[in-house]
Structure 1
């Protein structure tokens, strides 16, 4: 992930990676499990690359291509199948193909505009595409549906503080995130660091 010139050196990039990557991995795992439950014959068995053969990275990419092919075939039969659209988005997010993932998430939101997972992942993709204003808008839409979502508050706060010149609103979202997840040590640590950087002490 690339950082923005307005980001605090050594502070912002690692923080956003923690939350966005965690969310991305979560959706990939959940979608993968769901898809395999629906298609038990597609369970993947890991194999070691033979000596002198393809690298593990190449094999993993081949596996993604096979999954994408299967999912695209399923989508041709039912273009508005939400689980298939979400699974395709997850695979492309895993590959770092944010443009492609965003397209399938847009399709998913056309099918179900209030789908919270789709909004969350779309916001992440937009961030990766450096469309920070739109990303903040999507996280705001998510909070309208789920006002007690601490990760959405945190991510919106990041957009506001580092990219949209709205530090006060960003700090308010950081505080809200902390209040909503007091038992989450990772989130609490990140928010405290933001508050300390701005005010000198966590509040």
Structure 2
């Protein structure tokens, strides 16, 4: 295992101090290689040292102005600070410079979601699902964006596909409960709210939904 792979493994194991030492060695040995700076920047994001992280990403871009992963790192840094416009700009730059991975499309979609531009999020979240068709988080967020864009039938199908991959996904059940209410299917809504609560007993939204449906059913019986 080379130093870079070892340092990344240490970072994934949350051994950040040892990872930092290795990344520093890598930079000292290869000061013209942007990869060391990018990895050090990613590590600094983990400890919320955004100011220094930006310096490392900027240095990587200085060395290679088309470094897609450096722009992706900057996007993550801005996203963590909830600066979604700058995050959006950098994720887009990463894609423009050839980063064709599910994560960058997903994160770009999420910048639009966090700015309440749900329809703008859709093509990026869809592309993320195409690049990684086994990630329930990506598929779920695509379903949410569909629902928030009033594409209810498509959202229903997407949430059902989430449950095919993970039948214990409480939020997918909750959203299918809401969609059932949209279709005036109180029993279907109750089923999904109950399932959400079985999986996650502290699911407040599902509990509220269940209470309202039960109240509605009681009124109909009376």
TM value normalised by structure 2: 0.59
Structure 2 residue corresponding to 1:181, chosen from 160, 166, 184: 166
Give the drift of 1:71. 1.4
Structure 2 vs 1, CA of residues 37 and 95 (structure 1 numbering), >3 Å: closer, same or farther?
Answer: farther
Give, in whole Å, the separation in 2 of the partners of 1:114 and 1:100: 20
Count of aligned pairs:
154
In structure 1, the partner of 2:90 is 104
Structure with bigger RCO (C-alpha 8 Å, 6+ apart): 1
Give the drift of 1:175. 0.9
Give, in whole Å, the separation in 2 of the partners of 1:158 and 1:124: 11
In structure 2, the partner of 1:150 is 136
Structure 2 vs 1, CA of residues 83 and 196 (structure 1 numbering), >3 Å: closer, same or farther?
Answer: same
Relative to total residues, which structure has the larger helix share, 1 or 2? 2
Give, in whole Å, the separation in 1 of the partners of 2:177 and 2:90: 39
Written as runs of structure 1 = structure 2, the 5 A alignment for 1:19-34 is none
For structure 2, the 5+ residue unaligned runs are 1-10, 26-39, 42-46, 181-187, 196-222
Give the drift of 1:194. 1.7
Q: Deviations over 1:115-142 (max 9, x none)?
A: 1111011111111122211101111122
Structure 2 residue corresponding to 1:40, chosen from 24, 44, 54: 24
Structure 2 residue corresponding to 1:195, chosen from 157, 173, 176: 176
In structure 2, the partner of 1:132 is 118
Between structure 1 and structure 2, the one with the greater Rg is 2
C-alpha contact 2:101 2:131 (8 A) present in aligned 1? no
Alignment root-mean-square deviation, CA: 3.2
Give, in whole Å, the separation in 2 of the partners of 1:70 and 1:164: 38
Structure 2 residue corresponding to 1:169, chosen from 151, 154, 158: 154
Q: Deviations over 1:87-107 (max 9, x none)?
A: 111111111111111111111
